[in-house]
């Protein structure tokens, strides 16, 4: 019986306002709160509220047999609480059904796993506290920012008590293996690794509205048929995607909501198929051997590596300079300073600095508020220069 495992990433970055060289030393207003509010309200109306209502309807209609998993970034939660509190309420309604799982992650959707284990642990602890406060849950499964993962991360999160971790089902690390089984990360004893079935996931997330795709228009019964073909050659179908796929990346007029409304019924009509949350899938299915992934992978871009954030010297310089601030930030023991620094860690800032071309470059351009990667770098480094000056001044006092 293969199980369908829907996992949705829910994220909004804290966007930076235009900040010039002449602002350094003159202004500590880094965040573009007006743009954050505008985007949050728009995406709440187009995606979060209608999609949450639809999932609640599906859970009730199918008497709990439809189940799914979310991770909510701390930056998303901050903006939802400030600008669209009804979105938080709608997630709490989903949580109350017992059919929705929430994962842990780094609170600011950051790259701390690559630069500072201590900062990584602190951010995960902060996110864990949010899950307790908002939903009364203690997550047992983990996903790192943008599914960034390697063996070292698995050992780290296992030491923190998690029993499952997610990553991309990248062909180059799987070799002959299938992404539709659970695995034991190399060197671990208890934690299980669940993988994204990227082709089936991308059929919804990226290809759904592509009129040049041979399978357009994708119908729910067709897609359910593709899922059923896994029977006999897989146990877990990891459909991992951005939640903003629904209504924002794939607009309402593409039929994406009608597709999702029909899909659970088509899947559950097959008695050999069901839906599970991430932790339920990890508990039900045994690990099919160990899987070693010594180098970092992610779900980003064609390479599925770190090049979306560390592919050029601008990105490397910005990240190294940012994490070099940690000793000063901790020395001050000021929560406002720490929050500012953590907002600057959000991975999107470095994604905007990517100089990739072709289709990956098009995706980066879709998300960035800047005219060019060089503008993104200059703006970030101006802000970081001001932030360092303020840190140094506070430490001298």
191: domain CATH number?
3.20.110.20
172 and 50 both lie in a single domain: yes
Return the residue matching tokens 């459909």.
Answer: 239
Of 16, 46, 69, nearest in space to 318 by CA: 16
333 and 210 both lie in a single domain: no
Considering Cα of 355, then 359, then 360, then 362, what sign does the dihedral take? Answer: positive
350 and 248 both lie in a single domain: no
Whether 296 maps to a domain, the answer reads no
Tell me the pLDDT of the chain averaged across its residues: 96
DSSP string of 16-41, one letter each residue: BPP--GGGTTT----B-HHHHHHHHH
Of all residues in the chain, the percent with pLDDT exceeding 70 is 97
| Residue 146 designated active-site | yes
Catalytic residue among 101, 146, 244, 248: 146
Question: Crossing angle for the helix pair 198-205 and 220-228, nearest 10 degrees?
Answer: 170
β-strands 68-72, 100-102 pairing: parallel
356 and 215 both lie in a single domain: no
In this structure, the number of other CB atoms found within 10 A of the CB of residue 88 comes to: 17
Residue 301 reports pLDDT greater than 90: no
Number of domains in the chain: 2
282 and 312 both lie in a single domain: no
Distance CA 132, CA 79 (A): 18
Cβ(224)–Cβ(260) under 8 Å? Answer: no
Cβ(391)–Cβ(325) under 8 Å? Answer: yes
Domain end point (choices 232, 257, 291): 291
Higher local confidence (pLDDT), 367 or 122: 122
Structural domain range at position 250: 3-291
pLDDT digit string, tens, across residues 335-394? 999 999 999 999 999 999 999 874 554 555 666 889 999 999 999 999 999 999 999 999
Q: What pLDDT was estimated at residue 365? A: 63
Of 296, 278, 185, nearest in space to 239 by CA: 278
* pTM of the complete model: 0.95
Q: Mean pLDDT, to the nearest integer, of 271-281?
A: 98
Range scoring the smallest mean pLDDT among 42-51, 61-70, 183-192, 351-360: 351-360
pLDDT digit string, tens, across residues 84-112? 999 999 999 999 999 999 999 999 999 99
Q: What pLDDT was estimated at residue 366? A: 60
pLDDT digit string, tens, across residues 10-19? 999 999 999 9
250 and 373 both lie in a single domain: no
| Burial degree of 86 (CB within 10 A; 0-12, 13-18, 19+) | exposed
242 and 177 both lie in a single domain: yes
Cβ(109)–Cβ(73) under 8 Å? Answer: yes
Q: What pLDDT was estimated at residue 108? A: 98
Distance CA 137, CA 114 (A): 27
- How many residues can be counted in the chain? 397
| 114 Cβ contact list (under 8 Å, min separation 6) | 148, 296, 306, 310, 319
Cβ(223)–Cβ(263) under 8 Å? Answer: yes
Q: Mean pLDDT, to the nearest integer, of 170-183?
A: 95
């Amino acid at each position: 019986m293969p199980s369908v495992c829907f996992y949705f990433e829910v994220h909004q970055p804290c966007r930076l306002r235009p900040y010039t060289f002449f602002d350094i030393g003159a202004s500590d207003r880094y965040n573009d709160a007006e743009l954050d509010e505008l985007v949050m309200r728009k995406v709440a109306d187009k995606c979060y509220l209608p999609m949450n209502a639809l999932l609640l309807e599906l859970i009730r209609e199918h008497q709990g047999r439809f189940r799914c998993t979310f991770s909510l970034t701390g930056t998303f939660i901050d903006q939802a609480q400030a600008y669209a509190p009804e979105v938080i309420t709608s997630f709490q309604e989903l949580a109350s059904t017992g059919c929705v799982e929430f994962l842990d992650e780094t609170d600011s959707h950051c790259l701390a796993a690559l630069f500072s284990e201590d900062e990584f642990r602190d951010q995960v602890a902060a996110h864990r506290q949010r899950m307790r406060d908002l939903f009364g849950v203690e997550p047992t499964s983990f996903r790192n920012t943008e599914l960034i993962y390697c063996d070292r991360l698995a050992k780290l999160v296992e030491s923190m008590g998690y029993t499952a971790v997610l990553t991309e089902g990248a062909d180059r690390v799987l070799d002959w293996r299938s992404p539709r089984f659970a695995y034991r990360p190399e060197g671990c004893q208890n934690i299980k690794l669940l993988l994204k079935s990227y082709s089936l996931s991308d059929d919804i997330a990226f290809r759904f509205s592509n009129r040049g795709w041979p399978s357009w228009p994708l119908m729910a019964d067709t897609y359910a048929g593709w899922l059923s073909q896994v029977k006999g050659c897989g146990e877990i179908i990891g459909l991992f995607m951005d939640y903003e796929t629904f209504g924002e990346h794939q607009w309402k007029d593409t039929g994406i909501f009608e597709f999702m409304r029909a899909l659970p019924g088509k899947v559950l009509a097959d008695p050999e198929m069901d839906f599970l949350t991430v932790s339920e899938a990890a508990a039900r299915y045994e690990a099919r051997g160990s899987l070693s992934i010594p180098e970092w992978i992610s779900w980003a871009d064609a390479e599925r590596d770190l090049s979306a954030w560390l592919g050029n010297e601008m990105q490397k310089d910005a990240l190294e300079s940012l994490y070099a601030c940690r000793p000063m930030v901790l020395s001050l023991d000021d929560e406002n300073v720490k929050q500012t620094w953590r907002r600057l860690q959000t991975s999107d800032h470095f994604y905007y600095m990517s100089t990739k071309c072709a289709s990956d470059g098009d995706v980066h351009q879709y998300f960035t508020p800047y005219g060019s990667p060089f503008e993104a770098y200059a703006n970030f480094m101006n802000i970081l220069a001001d932030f360092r000056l303020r840190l140094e001044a506070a430490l001298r006092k």
